[in-house]
Structure 1
Amino acid sequence: MNKFKILGVAFLAGMTASYAQTIDQAKKEIDAEKYQDAKVTLKSIVKSDPSEGKAFFLLGNVYLYQNVSDSAKMSYQSGLTAKNDAHFNNIGLGQIDLNSGNVAAAKANFSSAIKEMRRKDFEEYQYVARAYMNSTNPDYKSALATLELAKEKNAQEPQILLALGDAYYGDKNQNQAYSNYRNAFQADNSLIRAKVQLGVLLKGAKAYTEAVAAYNEVLATNPNYGPLYRELAETYYLWGLNVPGRQDEYLKKALDYYEKYMTLTDYSLASRMRHADFLILAKDYKALEVEANKMKELDKVNPRILRYLGYAAYQNGNADVAIKSLQDYTANPDNKIINLDYMYLGLAKIKKGTNADGTAIDPTAFQAGVADIKKAADIEISVTNELGEIGKDLYEKKLYKEAAAILEIATSNPKTNTFLYDNYYLGNAIYFDNAGADVVKDTVALKKADIAYGNVITASPDTQDVYLSRARTNSLLGDDKAMIMYYQQYIDIVTKKGPEELAKPAVKAKLIECYNTMAAGYANFDKMKAKEFFQKTLAIDPTNAYATQSLSILNK
């Protein structure tokens, strides 16, 4: 009988050790972003031993990583009935509450979990902090406050230090993030993520050479750690954006590293979606179309796939598929719509309404497209960064009215990198749209052009030709005094540059324009000034017919 008891205790100890090893395996798979493998591991645990609540909790977490909230909730609720560690599942339900904006319910769930902690326990605090950080509405201050409680239990625990690094990083405290990542890795040099995060900090500081060097240190000892390749991909992508002439080279490296990341993690729908998001950043729309169709094979009903199909179809020249996909996606109020959804829908409508050689656009299609682009800017103003080039392209095709409509949206954001140029092209587009002899002048639009030129002058007062453009616009508006003032400002700038500038044929031609037009304006209220400026024209071009004839009339 005693032998049986001893064997029974040994069997239970073996079962406990086996369970701990399997849970540890699942944690490693989660950390390595092998979510499909982790799901297989955790499902096998809950199937063979449904008394282990932590397995349900970790399985729910994996579902949340993959944005499958319903399955996560079911897993957590099942875990609440488990015999062991059931209280961890309240933490998962708390994160779902945070995701839906119900902070009070989340805190109640967290309190229920913390209430079950034993004297030396700290893991619950760690997971509560992670819930605050991983929420779709992250709260890094609350995460840090929770982790301070965990530190009181075990200040040297590597996972607590790693979580502190992540919380400080999210809270934009780079120094504290670095210190905690470094301490976490020193406390446990098998904690690869802490070492990788040191490189992530360097990437955030745009120290790309140093970031890649840090990743390569990890690579030398841990070449199969998947998240490392994702960070390399993102680093090379950003590096390419910041190094003129190297963008294509670094973008290719970025895409290669992301493919490596995929091979080392999994090809689940969630991973493919993350890959698709990166392909959009990298503007590899051919690959995006391939990925979107593979996702469609995996899940024909997931609405987010419509987004990828729509983006890829627009960029690859299929406006009909783009419109159908994005209209279906944006029509469902349950879908999380972002600015690019409306942006690409609007651009697809414009493309569909444009004739084959790009010289004419159906007005109805264009107005519908602009309405969607405005919706995109209302959701997130940063979308205006993409509009300058589109407006400039329309301008160069002499579609001035359409160019002005797009550039007006672009210039609604003064923080774009192309704000100065977008304003200049906006002013020019409106001016040329109104400059024809038989055109009925749109004074509202011309006043917008005047403001746009004013924005350029404020930002770059030495841009001499903008004064000419502003003077011409005010001439169309019939404001002689404003027109004279801006022509005079042009004259002052070029005169200040000296004889060499004044001797340039192009500048001479513009000065003649200034003097003749100013003289014509003065003729309406100051004939002596008018004569003076016509004489200035003749000093440059003694045979100028307009000045000669006008002086003849004024002298009668």
Structure 2
Amino acid sequence: MNMNKVTILSVAILASAFTVQAQDINQAKKAVDAEQFESAKTILKTIIKDKPANGEAFYTLGNVYLTQKIQDSAKIYFDKGITASDEGQLNYIGLGQMDLNSNNVPAAQANFALATKEMKRKDFQEFIYIARAYMNAEKPDYKNALTTLNKAVVINSQDAQLQLALGDAYYGEGKQNEAFIAYRSAFQLDSSLLRAKMQLGVLLKGAKSYDEASKAYNEVIAINPNYGPVYRELAETYYKIARNKPSQAAANYKIALGHYDKYMSLTDYSINSRMRRADFLILIEDYVALEVEAKKMIELDKVNPRIYRYLGYSAYKNGNVDVAIKSLENFINSPGNKPIALDYLYLGLTKIKKGTNPEGTAIDSTAFKTGLMDIKKSIEMEPLAVQELSAVGKNLFTQKMYKEAASIFEFGASTPESKSFLDDNVYFGLANYYANSGKDVKVDIVALQKGDAAFDKVLVASPIYLEAYLYKARTNRLLEKDDLMVKNYEDYIAKTTALGAEEIAKPAVKTKFVESYNNMAASFANTNKLKAIEFFNKTLAIDPTNNYAAESIKILK
């Protein structure tokens, strides 16, 4: 046998095997870009099984798991990948991103240094991957990403993936013009890089040019109608349109969901992709569909705690309080979970709902009190969560459950940065007053003092809300602080009178003036009869038939 022929054949076989391997990696990367993560995982696991020396396959697979927030699996593949003889150093980058996720920047930088330790003069891919790690971390660091990418630019500025990464980094930094140039360059360098062209539409969406964004996405679809991510972007664009045009919201939400379902059909129907769809259902506030989806997901994966968040949210919105409480408590109490403010907020509001009824007659005080505790946890995590509470408080107020309403409004009344701050203080003051103004009610001095202070805040924020003076007077009357009551009534009368004759001629204002003069007169009846008679005469000047004033003058004389 001709040995040269055998050698040539062997080389040809090796070259063929390398080409197949390279195609497989590229196929996996294309699946990742198309957000077909389950397909990518299958391809990569096959490569690892056949070629355990392929470090890039370990790194890419670990990154897929990081994208899906499955940290344990990601670390397993990064740790194994380090020992691979071919591109094993890339896995240090994956471990570096995990360090960033843990806020351990020095450890991350140490891992990045290990990844770049043996780079050759013309190597630059490691810089792109490190920049991606900075951008994909739970707290993205676009500044360091750009610094790293600029090292690659010096070596090869004409790489399409480098330009795409630059576009993402500039976009993250809010530098729209630079991002546009980079995305355009990436697509010009590689016309198969549809993500770069799609991102041009994302820039337009960010600029609220929704029609132009949709046009850009449709250009991507014209090139490849099976590129899934573009339909997700279309869905999110129609969501934005719906939010911008409330009168057409229902129709645009329907279009948005149609595009999202198309995205799902072109990616995969794994539990992770279903969760992405569930996130979108929360975004468009389709809680009926979300509850259906959550129940389907539980059938597929009974141990994934995140599903209970979706079921809890949707059950709360759909009025299924017991399911909501059980589901949210399952999620919050599952080891390893990181509850967010909204989890505690919805749990608390569900318990509030369980503790009351539409008639406002029966109260499960235990459920209500524990609900308040959960809401407090939510606000400690995110103060602006109070903005979700106003409608709940107003509903309780309408049901004349004033004490319960006050306990809800107090959160917003204590948060100046909330857009409902003024409104919440008004209702907080009113609720505390009405809760203590009924017959046979034991006056809660602390609650009334809080109400009085709330009206002070109202007058600072809105000096023209003159009713605040009136309610301060009524509150101080319940507190038996006659001197303050008189001052409040005097302030109300003086500031209302300053508005002119037309204002004080209104029947409702006349009634309030009569209330003011009668209460001021009564406060002076035992200490200054002349002053009392003066105020009662002012009442009679407005309402000559006022029996209380007329009879009181007779007694005082």
Whether these two folds match at TM > 0.5 is yes
Q: Contact 1:178–1:198 at 8 Å: present in 2 too?
A: yes
The correspondence of residues 471-486 of structure 1 with structure 2, limited to 5 A, is: 471-486=473-488
Instruction: Detail structure 1 runs of 4+ shifted over 6 Å in the superposition.
Output: none
- 1:63 deviates by 1.0
Residue 378 of structure 2 corresponds to which residue in structure 1?
Answer: 376
Residue 60 of structure 2 corresponds to which residue in structure 1?
Answer: 58
Aligned-partner SS, 1:245? helix
Q: Contact 1:480–1:521 at 8 Å: present in 2 too?
A: yes
CA distance in structure 2 between the partners assigned to 1:337 and 1:251 by the alignment: 28
Q: How many correspondences in the alignment?
A: 555
Residue 32 of structure 1 corresponds to which residue in structure 2?
Answer: 34
Residue 138 of structure 1 corresponds to which residue in structure 2?
Answer: 140
Residue 395 of structure 1 corresponds to which residue in structure 2?
Answer: 397
Residue 428 of structure 2 corresponds to which residue in structure 1?
Answer: 426
Q: Contact 1:67–1:270 at 8 Å: present in 2 too?
A: no
Q: Contact 2:469–2:492 at 8 Å: present in 1 too?
A: yes
Residue 125 of structure 1 corresponds to which residue in structure 2?
Answer: 127
- 1:310 deviates by 2.0
CA displacement, residues 26-77 of structure 1 (integer Å, 9 cap, x when unaligned): 2121111111111122222222222221111111111111111121112222
- 1:529 deviates by 4.3
CA distance in structure 1 between the partners assigned to 2:191 and 2:527 by the alignment: 85
Residue 251 of structure 1 corresponds to which residue in structure 2?
Answer: 253
Residue 307 of structure 1 corresponds to which residue in structure 2?
Answer: 309
User: Greater CA deviation, 420-429 or 206-215?
Assistant: 206-215
Q: Contact 2:354–2:368 at 8 Å: present in 1 too?
A: no
Residue 326 of structure 2 corresponds to which residue in structure 1?
Answer: 324
CA distance in structure 2 between the partners assigned to 1:175 and 1:377 by the alignment: 38
CA distance in structure 2 between the partners assigned to 1:441 and 1:187 by the alignment: 77
- 1:246 deviates by 2.8
Q: Contact 2:360–2:400 at 8 Å: present in 1 too?
A: no
Residue 443 of structure 2 corresponds to which residue in structure 1?
Answer: 441
Q: Contact 2:522–2:532 at 8 Å: present in 1 too?
A: yes
Residue 363 of structure 1 corresponds to which residue in structure 2?
Answer: 365
**Aligned-partner residue type, residue 471 of structure 1:** A
CA distance in structure 2 between the partners assigned to 1:198 and 1:481 by the alignment: 68
CA distance in structure 2 between the partners assigned to 1:298 and 1:505 by the alignment: 66
CA distance in structure 2 between the partners assigned to 1:320 and 1:192 by the alignment: 46
**Aligned-partner residue type, residue 77 of structure 2:** S
Change (3 A) 1:485 1:351: same
Aligned-partner SS, 2:16? helix
Aligned-partner SS, 2:389? helix
CA displacement, residues 425-479 of structure 1 (integer Å, 9 cap, x when unaligned): 1111111001113222112111211222222222222233333223222222233
CA displacement, residues 60-112 of structure 1 (integer Å, 9 cap, x when unaligned): 11111111112111222222222211111111111122222332222121111
CA distance in structure 1 between the partners assigned to 2:217 and 2:398 by the alignment: 45
Task: Give 5+ residue unaligned stretches, structure 2.
Answer: none
CA distance in structure 1 between the partners assigned to 2:474 and 2:178 by the alignment: 57
Q: Contact 1:350–1:361 at 8 Å: present in 2 too?
A: no
- Residues 1:203 and 2:205 aligned together: yes
CA RMSD of superposed structures (Å): 2.3
Aligned mate of 1:536, from 535, 538, 556? 538
CA displacement, residues 146-203 of structure 1 (integer Å, 9 cap, x when unaligned): 1121222222322222222222333344444344334433443433223333333343
The correspondence of residues 437-516 of structure 1 with structure 2, limited to 5 A, is: 437-516=439-518
CA displacement, residues 399-450 of structure 1 (integer Å, 9 cap, x when unaligned): 1111111111233322333222222111111110011132221121112112
**Aligned-partner residue type, residue 36 of structure 2:** K
- 1:119 deviates by 1.2
User: Greater CA deviation, 143-152 or 322-331?
Assistant: 322-331
CA distance in structure 2 between the partners assigned to 1:524 and 1:304 by the alignment: 68
- 1:483 deviates by 2.8
Q: Contact 2:503–2:509 at 8 Å: present in 1 too?
A: yes
- 1:367 deviates by 0.7
Change (3 A) 1:211 1:304: same
CA distance in structure 2 between the partners assigned to 1:283 and 1:350 by the alignment: 21
CA distance in structure 2 between the partners assigned to 1:94 and 1:166 by the alignment: 19
The correspondence of residues 292-303 of structure 1 with structure 2, limited to 5 A, is: 292-303=294-305
**Aligned-partner residue type, residue 463 of structure 1:** Y
State TM-score, norm by structure 1.
0.93
CA distance in structure 2 between the partners assigned to 1:524 and 1:254 by the alignment: 72
Residue 89 of structure 2 corresponds to which residue in structure 1?
Answer: 87
Change (3 A) 1:413 1:2: same
Task: Give 5+ residue unaligned stretches, structure 1.
Answer: none
User: Greater CA deviation, 383-392 or 413-422?
Assistant: 413-422
Residue 225 of structure 1 corresponds to which residue in structure 2?
Answer: 227
Residue 161 of structure 1 corresponds to which residue in structure 2?
Answer: 163
CA distance in structure 2 between the partners assigned to 1:486 and 1:297 by the alignment: 63
Change (3 A) 1:540 1:366: same
Change (3 A) 1:489 1:232: farther
User: Greater CA deviation, 84-93 or 293-302?
Assistant: 293-302
Residue 288 of structure 2 corresponds to which residue in structure 1?
Answer: 286
Change (3 A) 1:245 1:69: same
CA distance in structure 2 between the partners assigned to 1:146 and 1:135 by the alignment: 15
- Residues 1:552 and 2:547 aligned together: no
Residue 355 of structure 2 corresponds to which residue in structure 1?
Answer: 353
**Aligned-partner residue type, residue 190 of structure 1:** S
**Aligned-partner residue type, residue 520 of structure 2:** M
Q: Contact 2:55–2:85 at 8 Å: present in 1 too?
A: yes
Q: Contact 2:360–2:401 at 8 Å: present in 1 too?
A: no
